[in-house]
Amino acid sequence: MLSEKKKEFIEFMMESDVLRFGDFVTKSGRNTPYFVNTGNYKTGKQIATLAKFYAALIKEECGDNFDCMFGPAYKGIPLAASASAALYNEYGIDKPYFFNRKEEKDHGEGGSLVGYKPVNGDRVIIIEDVITAGTAIRETMPILASCADVNISDMFISVNRCEVGQNEGKTAVMEVMDEFGIRVHAIVTVKDIYEYLKTDSKYSDVLKNMEKYMQTYCIF
């Protein structure tokens, strides 16, 4: 059953033009009838609202049982920064955050990381937007492994697309757990979005395309 909180988040994404329906191509090269682009959040109210959703999920799943938050460049940067602020404002949990540069800095202090400097033994959580085929997380892991001997326990995303990854029979989220031991938590899943669309007849055409796509690529 679709909870009121999930319904609220789906409507928030749609109002922010972040959840869109049409004909798109994902990072993994799949043609998809829906797309989630967190790069379309552009106001203070939007990022503050989004951060509260992330903070609530982090509090629910981890409490304060972690040391720092990592936001992969580029979209993960504002997500980690704002979620860190919301965790403090909403729950009094004060945790540092850091992110990477796409290009390593060759002047000043140098390096590719900005913000908190992880140390051996740190428990890191990753803040991202979506997982489709797991490509981004595989690019992220070497970055974190090179900064210190850290433990990456959990990852938080806006939407779990529930799509098959590189191995038949497994979603990208399942692969992340199997390969890296990282638990992935999503505010909503593609199934939640589908259930929401079923409540309004104006989405009948979108639903047909969603059903075809889910039958082809999704595992539940």
Enumerate the active-site residues. 105, 107
CA nearest to 143, candidates 172, 114, 177: 114
Helical ranges in 119-199 per DSSP H? 135-147, 172-180, 190-197
129, 36 contact by CB (below 8 A) = yes
* Rounded Cα gap, residues 112 and 100, in angstroms: 5
- CA distances (Å), 116 to each of 77, 179, 182, 190, in order? 13, 26, 21, 33
* Rounded Cα gap, residues 171 and 3, in angstroms: 23
CA nearest to 190, candidates 169, 217, 165: 217
Provide the 8-state DSSP code for 130.
Answer: E
- Which contiguous run of DSSP H or E holds residue 55? helix 44-62
Task: Give 155: exposed, middle or buried? Use CB within 10 Å, 0-12, 13-18, 19+.
Answer: buried
What interhelical angle do 4-15 and 190-197 show, nearest 10? Answer: 80
160, 189 contact by CB (below 8 A) = yes
